[in-house]
Amino acid sequence: MEPKKNPNVAVGRNSSIYFAIGLNVMLLATWLSFEYKTFENTDLLLESLNLVEEFEEEIPITDLNMPPPPPPPPVLSNPETITIVEDAKEIEETVIESTETDQNEKIDPIVEVSDVEVEDVEEDVSVPFSVVEKIPIFPGCLGSSNDELKACFSKKMNDHIVKNFEYPQAALELGIYGKVYVLFTIDRDGNVANVKSRGPDKMLEKEAERIIGLLPQMKPGYQRGNPVSVPYSIPINFQIQN
CATH of the domain at 189: 3.30.2420
Residue 169 lies in a domain: yes
- Please tell me the distance from the alpha carbon of residue 228 to that of residue 221, in angstroms, as a whole number: 6
Confidence of residue 14 (pLDDT cuts 50, 70, 90): confident
Is the N-terminal amide bond of 67 cis, ω within 30° of 0?
no
pTM: 0.49
Q: In the structure, what pLDDT confidence band is assigned to residue 19 with cuts at 50, 70 and 90?
A: confident
In a domain, 234, yes or no: yes
pLDDT-based confidence at residue 97 (cuts at 50, 70, 90)? low
19 within some domain: no
Contact 183, 231 (CB under 8 A): yes
pLDDT at 228 (0 to 100): 93
Instruction: Tell me how far apart the alpha carbons of residues 199 and 214 are, in angstroms, rounded to a whole number.
Output: 19
Containing structural domain, residue 220: 146-238
For the residues 163-189, what does the mean pLDDT come to? Answer: 91
* 81-91 mean pLDDT: 61
Residue 162 lies in a domain: yes
The bridge status of strand 221-223 relative to strand 178-186 is unpaired
How many structural domains compose the chain? 1
User: How much is the pLDDT for 79?
Assistant: 56
Q: How sure is the predictor about 203, in pLDDT bands with cuts at 50, 70 and 90?
A: very high
